[in-house]
Structure 1
Amino acid sequence: MAITVSLVLLFGLVLFFLLRSGSLGYGSAFIAAGFGFFLASTGAAEPINNLAHAVVDAIPNL
């Protein structure tokens, strides 16, 4: 749970800075957020979560 909240905050900050810098428009940000929301409700959610957990677990071993 803590990893998920941290990643959501990280991606939210990246999205915020992309919007502020003008690199990403509001329409594109809405599409990206919608895509992530609907992707989370598909069968791809579990492999994506497993990959994220594996990456987070591997970081201390670098």
Structure 2
Amino acid sequence: MLVSMSAVLLLGLVIWFLLRIRYLRWADTLLCGAFGFLLARTVAAPVVQGLLDGVNGFLGQFRF
């Protein structure tokens, strides 16, 4: 668990930096995928899932 938390923190910082300098390419999507995979294995996963469910419920109320 400690290794995955460290990897999540490191990958999160790298993704934030790449977004900040507006430099994301196809290879970087693999980095983002690895970040998501590792994030799902941490204790933050239920919080992230709850947030995504809330956003999904909010957006699902809009009718176009």
* TM superposition score normalised by structure 2: 0.50
What is the total number of aligned residue pairs between the two structures? 40
Instruction: Specify every segment of 5 or more residues in structure 1 that has no aligned partner in the other structure, as ranges.
Output: 1-22
Give 4+ residue runs of structure 1 displaced > 3 Å after superposition. none
Partner of 2:53: 53
Residue 49 of structure 2 corresponds to residue 43 of structure 1 = no
Larger radius of gyration: 2
Q: Percent identity?
A: 28
- Structure-1 separation of matches of 2:62 and 2:26: 38
Q: Identify, as 1 or 2, the structure richer in helix.
A: 1
Which position in structure 2 is the counterpart of 1:30?
A: 30
Question: For residues 47 and 62 of structure 2, what CA distance do their matches in structure 1 show?
Answer: 22
- In structure 2, the CA distance between the partners of 1:61 and 1:25, relative to structure 1 (3 Å rule), is closer
TM-score where L is the length of structure 1: 0.51
For CA contacts below 8 A with separation 6 or more, give which structure has more relative contact order.
Answer: 2
> Relative to 1, partners in 2 of residues 1:27 and 1:61: Cα closer, same or farther, differing over 3 Å?
closer
> 5+ residue gaps in structure 2?
1-22
